[in-house]
Chain A
Amino acid sequence: MNRIVILILLLLFTLQCQAQDGALEEYFFESGKIKVVIAVAVSIATGLFAYLFRLDKKIKDLENNKK
């Protein structure tokens, strides 16, 4: 599970590197760069939810141990 997450992150990172010029800049610089703020807020939400899933898994393990 963890390995898959890391793999996806690395793949995303290479995508970002490839798209660095032109298109990416155009998209994020539109108007007053508000999309950068959305990207930041979304990454915080994604990070916290990913962590919630891990906590969830830990609790599940504890419950299974009890039985």
Chain B
Amino acid sequence: MAKNWWKIVGALLVIYATAFSFLRPLEPGIIQTDKTELVLGQNTFSVTGYNSHFVDYSSSLKGFLRVDSVRAIPITVLDIKDNVHAEFSVNVPADIDKTVMDLFLSNDRTGSMFLPAAFRIDQSKGNPAASAEYTNVAFSSGEEIPFEFPFQLRIFDTIRNLNFHVPMWFTMFVLMGLSLWYSIRYLNSDKIEYDLKAASSAKIALIFCSLGLITGSIWARFAWGDWWTTDAKLNGAAVSFLLLAAYFILRKSAEDKPNKGKIAAVYNILSFFMTMALIMVLPRLTGAASLHPGEDGNPAFSSYDLDSNLRMVFYPACAGWIITGIWIYNLHYRISNLKNTQS
């Protein structure tokens, strides 16, 4: 039992991260409006919110359309259908000098919720004599909820996937690093033990790579609209998968050669650095070609992309999956070691 403590830590971290990922709510936000175009004068529109508590906090519900950093057009509540559906009206003045405006809603529970570029104003339609008072842009704060996932447009609940999809890749990196380490040691010492260890960890890295590809593909379908996009990182990841797979084909095909371990080790060292270049370096050089966050020269985990709340689950999730990956690698190595001594 004393030797197994790290496996228990890994299992607990994965359980904690999974439970947390599903249980905590998402920040309130606005999913969509029924129209995207407004005319001059009176307009009505309805809004679909998320966790927006329209009914629960109906007395404090208010909102505005933001024209620029100072001016705003007030909107009035017409009808609240339920917690996530409500109707509003707005009077667009004829002297408006902006064509695209953001929608802001707030109540005492949610604070400011906002839909960027919600409306386009068609200045050729409607009442050209309409006039209205502008108000000031005012942000309001709601109740403090201990932990909420950040609300992002189009991503919505799938932000939780961060704790499933990304740790797969981190685990793959760690296992590939382990594989690199044992390949180098094998070249130095010629001990068969290191060769087996390098092969085992590469095998488990391949499994986590496939899991990363599958989960990424599902996420991409519902956040970006396609199973596979021509994203630099996606194609890099696919090539890394092939590089890893080629390592095993090489091992298999050189089975009866006396120096097969050495050939495989040299190839493994090469493929490690190729993978790093393909996944970590190249997507950042191509700039806007990638849809992944933080791909224009900055690391993805800046404070902007990943707020401090998310880190509380994200880091344990990564640690837990890495430990689990090492555990599975350990099992695989013990099996192949036994096989080796038996034959």
Is residue A44 contacting chain B, with contact meaning CB distance below 8 A?
yes
In the complex, A16→B18 CA distance in Å? 26
Is residue B44 contacting chain A, with contact meaning CB distance below 8 A?
no
The one of B157, B214, B227, B331 in contact with A33, judged by C-beta atoms closer than 8 angstroms, is B157
Contact, CB under 8 Å: A37 / B335: no
Q: How many A-B residue pairs have CB under 8 A?
A: 71
In the complex, A41→B36 CA distance in Å? 35
- Contact mask for chain A residues 38-57; partner B; CB cutoff 8 A; 1 contact, 0 none: 01110110011001000100
Is residue A22 contacting chain B, with contact meaning CB distance below 8 A?
no
In the complex, A42→B131 CA distance in Å? 55
B269 to chain A, nearest CB (A): 26
Chain A residues closer than 8 Å to B21, beta-carbon distance: 37
Is residue B186 contacting chain A, with contact meaning CB distance below 8 A?
no
Is residue A14 contacting chain B, with contact meaning CB distance below 8 A?
no
Contact, CB under 8 Å: B168 / A44: yes
The one of B50, B156, B218 in contact with A43, judged by C-beta atoms closer than 8 angstroms, is B218
Q: A55-B331, A62-B339 are in contact. Are A40 and B156 (CB under 8 A)?
A: no
B341 to chain A, nearest CB (A): 10
Chain B residues closer than 8 Å to A59, beta-carbon distance: 335
Chain A residues closer than 8 Å to B227, beta-carbon distance: 16
Is residue B94 contacting chain A, with contact meaning CB distance below 8 A?
no
Contact, CB under 8 Å: A37 / B331: no
A35 to chain B, nearest CB (A): 9
**Which residue of chain B has the shortest Cβ distance to A28 in the bound complex?**
B222
**B213-230 at interface with A (beta carbon < 8 Å):** 214-215, 218-219, 222-223, 227
Chain A residues closer than 8 Å to B155, beta-carbon distance: 33
In the complex, A58→B53 CA distance in Å? 54
Is residue B239 contacting chain A, with contact meaning CB distance below 8 A?
no
Chain B residues touching A, range? 20 to 34
In the complex, A29→B328 CA distance in Å? 35
Chain A residues closer than 8 Å to B156, beta-carbon distance: 32-33
Contact, CB under 8 Å: B18 / A41: yes
**Which residue of chain A has the shortest Cβ distance to B207 in the bound complex?**
A51
Contact, CB under 8 Å: A32 / B335: no
The one of B210, B218, B331 in contact with A36, judged by C-beta atoms closer than 8 angstroms, is B218
Chain B residues closer than 8 Å to A2, beta-carbon distance: none
In the complex, A39→B223 CA distance in Å? 13
Chain B residues closer than 8 Å to A65, beta-carbon distance: 342
Contact, CB under 8 Å: B210 / A47: yes
**Which residues in B have some Cβ–Cβ distance to A below 8 Å?**
18, 21-22, 26, 31, 50, 155-158, 160-161, 164-165, 168, 207, 210-211, 214-215, 218-219, 222-223, 227, 328, 331-332, 335, 338-339, 342
Q: Could you write out 13 A-B pairs with CB less than 8 Å apart?
A: A32-B157, A33-B156, A34-B160, A36-B158, A37-B22, A37-B160, A40-B219, A43-B211, A44-B164, A44-B168, A55-B328, A59-B335, A62-B338
Further pairs besides A36-B158, A36-B219, A55-B332: 7, Cβ < 8 Å: A16-B227, A34-B157, A36-B218, A37-B157, A43-B215, A62-B338, A62-B339
